[in-house]
A = this chain, B = another copy of it.
């Protein structure tokens, strides 16, 4: 039950010939979620072999154009492709007015409903949940109301090992009890601790998407122990002051959050167009947080189990 993240755009607002504005697809338990939707997102999806019809929902961090302008053409194309099921779009206020304006002026006859779900950017809470996954909002500190998103796989149910069943000749009712997490009393009076009998079929993993934001110690607490942290690094360490003024982070800010959160790995993106050498930005992070990678467009990053658990 993997989580993977495919980067569609790693640039900040000013367009460049080589990079696209923010967008990525998170695949969690084979359900696809689009995180932000900068211009060109649908073409980038096509180039990555991701069908837009497979999108389960869309999550917008905030309502700046470089995170948003690719959404409306994508919504149109989903109509052309004949989508029928409602598409939920999680976004801060006033996205509803934008969506209404778009639908009334540009797309009156879509064969499906794009539905806005308001995200309160001041709260850290579960905004989406199904059998296997929770998605949490992460209040961020940008120039406008902004939220990150934290994907958490739920602990899968306990399995009882075949070995234990045969070794201890467990009855059906004992197996069911063990799956509930109970210790099992044998006829001999021996008590088998649950941990001896059961295992988790996979490890619950987590991924956090944090763009755009100033340095935030509160954020580090909210993503404590995350397996993969995507954190914006619009600016190099030398532009720390500019980063602060513009509601963005420097490399040092991102690495400090990753370190404080005890994250497993850090993925950096949302690069200002002024930087041609992204490796230099990455090196600045690695001095503080060694397991840092550059979010490269059209690359997929798998969320790996924590090393210490292996």
Contacts and interface: CB of A to CB of B under 8 A. Distances in A.
Contact of A17 (B47, B72, B107): B47
Contact of A101 (B47, B63, B105): B105
A94 B286 CA distance: 53
Interface string A1-33: 000000000000111110010000000000000
B65 A73 contact: yes
Q: How large is the interface on A (under 10, 10 to 19, 20 to 34, 35 or more residues)?
A: 20 to 34
Interface stretch (A38-46, A175-183, A220-228, A229-237): A38-46
B105 A97 contact: yes
A62 to B, nearest CB: 12
B65 A72 contact: yes
Given A39-B70, A72-B69, A105-B97, A46 B77 contact: no
Contacts of A80: 13-14
Interface of A: 13-17, 20, 39-40, 42-43, 46-47, 63, 65-66, 68-70, 72-73, 76-77, 80, 94, 97-98, 101, 105-107
Closest 9 CB pairs of A and B: A69-B73, A101-B101, A65-B76, A39-B73, A17-B46, A17-B47, A15-B42, A98-B105, A40-B40
